[in-house]
Each structure stands twice: as C-alpha cells, then as structure tokens.
C-alpha cells in the first residue's frame, strides 16, 4: 500500500511531495491474517493498523526532513473509495485522548473490531447485492436512489456481509468510517463525518438530497445510521487539528481539517476538470470520470455527488484490470521493462492489423467479464499473439473499452474535448499516444501524476473560503494549466471507428452473464 503527501504554498506551487510504500508481506503484518494473494495491491483486505503506521512513518519522515508543520493552514486528504474501517466500542475515548508520546499505531492498536479492512478489490458480496436490489425494487431503482446499481465493492454490501457473517463483531462496532473519513478522524482526533462525494460510493446515500436512504440502511444491517454518523458537503471544515499533532509535530492550533473524500473525487479536483473534458486515471485501477450537471443513473457506471460543487455530480467508470494487468503483460512480454513495453507500442501499427483482445486477469467491473480473449482480424478466437501484438492489443483494448462505455453513459466527444490523464501510467507517452488515437482527442497531463493528493491540497485551501461561495475554480485559477502531451494521428478515426464497432460486438461474447442487467 502507498501513502502520499503533497503540500502547496499560497501561489499553488507544489512545495513537498512524499510517497511511502508499505509491503503487506512484512512479518509484523502477516500475523494480522487476511487474504494476501501475491502482492500488497492484490489483497481484498488491508490491515487497518498498517494504514495508521504508514501515517506515523510519513509524519516522522517529514519531521526529520525539516518540514514546517506550523505553516499548514488547512489539510485534507483522500482514501481509496469503498473500503471501510470498523471502530470498536470504547475507541472514541482513545481517539480523543491521543498521547503525544506515542506513535498513533500504538495508541490505536486495540481500537478496531475488524483488523483487516475490506477494500475496493473485494467482490465477494454478490448475495448481499442481490438482496439490496430486491429490497428497493431492482437494479435501476437502486441506481436511481444511490447513483449505482449494487456493486460488490460498495460499502453497504460490505457492511451487510460483515453483519451477516459476524453479527457479534458488528454489534461491538461503535462507528464505521470510509477510508477517507477514517484518515480524517485520525487528524481530527474525533470521528469525522463522511463527505457527500465518497458517501455516494456506498449504495446507501440518496444522491438527490444527500441523506441516507433508510430503506438501504435497513436492508444492510440494523442500527446502521448511528454507526455511520451524518454526512457533510465535501468542502466542509470539520474542525481544528487534534492537540496530538500540535504537541508532537508542531502544527498550528489554527490548522483546519477539511473533509476528506474518495481518491477519484479528489482527482477530479486536482485535475480542475472543465465541461466537455474527460479525465482518465491510470492508477492501480483505471477510472474514467466526467463532471456532469444532471444525474442520469444507469445500471452501468456510477453517479457520485460532485466533490467541489454540491449542486453538481460526477460520472465514474471503474476498470479493475488496469495497471496490474499491464504489469503482468509487461512481465510476460517485455522482460518487466516499461521501455521495452513502450517500444512494442511504437513498433506496431495503429489498429494492430485488426488483432484485438480482452485482458481480464480478475473479474472486470466494466464489463462484467473475466479471462483473456484474443481475436484475429477475421473475428476468430486465437490462443496467443506475438509479444508486440499482445502489448498493443492490451492497450488498444483497454482504451476502446473506455470509449465505448463512456459513450454508453451518454458522453460525446466534441471538437473541444480534452483528455486529462493521471495516475502512474500517465508517465508513459507511448501509452498516452494510443489513448489519444483511440479517442481521436488530444491528451493532457498535469505536472504530478498524484492528482488525488494535489486535489486535496486544493480542496484544503478551498475549504477555508467555501462558505463564502467562492468556487474551487476561482481558488486555483493561478495553478499551472494542464500540459499537452500527445495529439491523435491523422488516420486515427478511420482506423478505430470500425474497430470500436467490432470490439463492442465481441464484448458480448466474453461477458460472464450476457442476460444480466450490467
């Protein structure tokens, strides 16, 4: 797992960036149990104390590098969406009385009723999803209420699973936070409310009036409203930083904690999306998001409350087989080297001579399919491709899926459309060239691939003035504009329009359950 920090000054210049990488295979964490399949990012749970320890490590590192905590006027943050943290009875008292002499993970070691927190990678809650949709009258009805049909990784279904398998653990839990509100709670020294935007990734919040849906709460577990607390606009100031940080690290008592949110909403803020833009994050998962005014929930994709403007919304598509899938093909076909991987993209032709593929090592979210499926130019299924063709088929396939599913959501590419790319793979220009070609649209990046972190620094500044109706766009208008990285090749549309049609038709063949609602 990773923990990242970005600090900006009043001129919005990035003054500090830090990444701490933690390996869940460390012996001290192995004793926590949980499912560790190969590497830290393929887990479906994460030891919550490890997150706390990562925060201890990063704060100590900043302190020893001379970071001036006293200058921080406001802080905010983001967490991977949908994960949840379960605070045991009595934890509130400990959280409110943190001793500045101890690292956080020591004070909080007995605070969690579930030591391995479920995270977004989990897809084991199909029966809870089925029952939630049934209770409200179907998948579309649930989407109308909460912005999404039932998804296995969404928090309501994860809570329902914990309640049904371990009712005594659920009963011992006094508070349930998302990863984002969990991290905010650590800084606040108190339980932090869930913000509207991350809250809308739970299958529990009514996206129209931003209140919990009592029908959904009751369908998941009893007494849930009390355990979740209330929700707040994403730009709310939650309070001042806890005395612990003032005494141990020298923060100013005036430093404000602004509501934390999900990683994708935070990226939307960091990328300063404008109408017509499309943001694509190529992180562990691939996500695609849009700023929208009118929500039109469907049984594919998600509508979330907008993190920077409470009257607006964002549409989100999530693809589970993102960087981890690219890494696997890089290791199999390019000796583990991104340079070699990129060379394969430049040495093969746009459109891959009609060869295309679907690459889903794990059950995909959009579309619901699994396995590796390769087709030659005559639409015949083939068992393998030469290495270079394999690499291009993977990248073209990933981006064709994004365009097809974004268009299904009603998105139209217009002459002024820009793609704003972020996440680790946005460092790779050859990958971005394929993205530009498939969408026939120029691709821009911002100076950091850590757009979620940067977005939270912007949101922290905005939080200080949000109550006076100043918009985030106004606050960050002096920040550097996105940089043009690649433009589409002249023949892009001619090559990809017919391929996109073929890809969409072939997708039906690889779906796990073509008759399901999505």
Ligand X SMILES: Nc1ncnc2c1ncn2[C@@H]1O[C@H](COP(=O)(O)OP(=O)(O)O)[C@@H](O)[C@H]1O
Ligand Y SMILES: O=C(CO)[C@@H](O)[C@H](O)COP(=O)(O)O
Q: What mask of x and - would describe binding to ligand Y in positions 405 to 444, judged by CB under 6 A? A: ----------------------------------------
81 interface partner picked from ligand Y, ligand X, none, CB below 5 to 8 A per type: ligand Y
By CB under 6 A, residue 318 contacts ligand Y: yes
CB 451 within 8 A of CB 267: yes
C-alpha–C-alpha distance, residues 416 and 409, integer Å = 19
236 binds ligand Y (CB under 6 A): no
Site membership for ligand Y, residue 173 (CB under 6 A) = no
Residue 414 region by backbone torsions, left for phi larger than 0, else alpha for psi between -120 and 50, else beta = beta
Cis peptide before 503 (omega within 30 of 0): no
Segment (H or E) for 187 = helix 179-188
Q: Which stretch binds ligand Y (CB under 6 A): 80-88, 96-104, 135-143, 186-194?
A: 80-88
Using only C-alpha atoms, the chain has a radius of gyration, in whole angstroms, of 22
Q: Are 315 and 302 in contact (CB under 8 A)?
A: yes
Q: Which does 424 bind (CB under 5 to 8 A by kind): ligand Y, ligand X, none?
A: ligand X
For position 283 contacting ligand Y by CB under 6 A, the verdict is yes
Please state, in angstroms and rounded to a whole number, the distance separating the CA atoms of residues 255 and 211.
29
- From 152, 195, 327, 396, residue interacting with ligand X (rule: CB under 6 A): 327
Residues 226 and 178 sit within 8 Å (Cβ to Cβ): no
CB of 326 or CB of 402, closer to ligand X: 326
Q: In terms of Cα–Cα distance, which of 260, 309, 272 is closest to 422?
A: 272
Residue 277's binding partner out of ligand Y, ligand X, none, with CB under 5 to 8 Å set by partner kind: none
CA distance 25 to 30: 6
Comparing CB distances to ligand Y, the nearer of 298 and 500 is: 298
Using the rule CB under 6 A, is 285 a contact of ligand Y? yes
- Residue 428 binding result from ligand X, ligand Y, none, given CB thresholds of 5 to 8 Å by partner type: ligand X
CB of 110 to ligand X, least distance (A): 29
- Closest by CA position to 243, among listed 191, 197, 190: 190
Strand partners, 84: 178
Among 264, 310, 355, 398, binds ligand Y (CB under 6 A): 264
* 441-to-278, 314, 434, 445, 487 alpha-carbon distances in Å: 10, 21, 10, 13, 7
Q: Which of ligand Y, ligand X, none does residue 338 bind to, with CB < 5 to 8 Å depending on kind?
A: ligand X
CB 32, min distance to ligand X, A: 21
Alpha-carbon span 318 to 302, nearest angstrom: 9
Chosen from ligand X, ligand Y, none, partner binding at 427 (C-beta under 5 to 8 Å by type): ligand X
Q: Of 48 and 241, which CB lies nearer to ligand Y in the complex structure?
A: 48
The answer to whether residue 427 forms part of the interface with ligand X (CB under 6 A) is yes
- Assess 82 for contact with ligand Y (CB under 6 A): yes
Q: Pick the closer one to ligand Y by CB: 35 or 349.
A: 35
Name residue, tokens 């820009």.
418
Q: What is the largest CA-CA distance in the chain?
A: 69
Quick check: 81 binds ligand Y (CB under 6 A)?
A: yes
In residues, how long is the chain?
Answer: 518
CB 262 within 8 A of CB 197: yes
Q: Which residues bind ligand X (CB under 6 A)?
A: 2, 283-284, 323, 326-327, 338, 423-425, 427-428, 431, 449
Q: Which residues bind ligand Y (CB under 6 A)?
A: 80-82, 120, 153, 201, 263-264, 281, 283-285, 287, 316, 318
């Amino acid at each position: 797992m990773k923990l990242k920090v970005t600090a900006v000054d009043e001129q919005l210049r990035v003054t500090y960036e830090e990444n701490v990488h933690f390996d869940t295979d460390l012996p001290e964490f192995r004793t926590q149990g949980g499912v560790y399949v190969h590497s830290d990012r393929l887990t479906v749970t994460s030891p919550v104390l490890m997150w706390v320890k990562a925060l201890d490590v990063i704060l100590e590192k900043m302190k020893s590098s001379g970071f001036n905590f006293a200058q921080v006027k406001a802080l905010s943050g983001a967490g991977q969406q949908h994960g949840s943290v379960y605070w045991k009875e009595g934890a509130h008292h400990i959280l409110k009385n943190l001793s500045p002499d101890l690292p956080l993970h020591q004070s909080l070691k007995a605070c969690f009723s579930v030591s391995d927190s479920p995270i977004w990678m989990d897809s084991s809650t199909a029966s809870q999803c089925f029952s939630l949709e049934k209770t409200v009258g179907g998948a579309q009805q649930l989407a109308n209420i909460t912005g999404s049909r039932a998804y296995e990784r969404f928090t309501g279904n994860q809570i329902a699973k914990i309640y049904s398998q371990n009712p005594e653990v659920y009963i011992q839990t006094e508070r349930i936070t998302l990863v984002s509100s969990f991290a905010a709670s650590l800084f606040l020294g108190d339980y932090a409310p869930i913000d509207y935007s991350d809250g809308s990734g739970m299958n529990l919040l009514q996206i129209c009036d931003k209140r919990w849906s009592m029908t959904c709460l009751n369908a998941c577990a009893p007494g849930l409203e009390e355990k979740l607390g209330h929700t707040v606009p994403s730009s709310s100031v939650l309070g001042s930083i806890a005395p612990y940080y003032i005494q141990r690290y020298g923060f100013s008592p005036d430093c404000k904690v602004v509501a934390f949110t999900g990683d994708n909403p935070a990226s939307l803020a960091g990328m300063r999306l404008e109408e017509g833009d499309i943001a694509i994050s190529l992180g562990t998962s691939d996500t695609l998001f849009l700023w929208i005014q009118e929500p039109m929930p469907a049984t594919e994709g998600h509508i979330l409350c907008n993190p920077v403007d409470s009257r607006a919304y964002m549409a989100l598509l999530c693809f589970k087989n993102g960087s981890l899938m690219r890494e696997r093909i890089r290791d199999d076909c390019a000796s583990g080297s991104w340079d070699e991987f990129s060379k394969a993209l430049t040495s093969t032709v746009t459109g891959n001579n009609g060869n295309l593929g679907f690459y889903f090592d794990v059950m995909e979210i959009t579309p619901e399919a699994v396995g590796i499926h390769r087709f030659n130019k005559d639409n015949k299924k083939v068992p393998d491709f030469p290495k270079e063709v394999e690499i291009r088929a993977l990248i073209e396939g990933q981006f064709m899926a994004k365009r097809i599913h974004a268009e299904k959501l009603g998105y139209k590419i217009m002459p002024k459309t820009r793609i704003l790319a972020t996440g680790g793979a946005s460092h790779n220009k050859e990958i971005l060239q394929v993205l530009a070609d498939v969408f026939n649209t120029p691709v821009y990046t911002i100076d950091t691939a850590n757009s979620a972190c940067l977005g939270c620094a912007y949101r922290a500044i905005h939080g200080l003035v949000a109550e006076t109706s100043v918009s985030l766009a106004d606050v960050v208008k002096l920040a550097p504009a996105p940089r043009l990285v690649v433009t589409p090749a002249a023949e892009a549309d001619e090559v990809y329009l017919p391929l996109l049609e073929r890809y969409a038709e072939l997708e039906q063949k690889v779906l796990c359950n073509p008759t399901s609602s999505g």
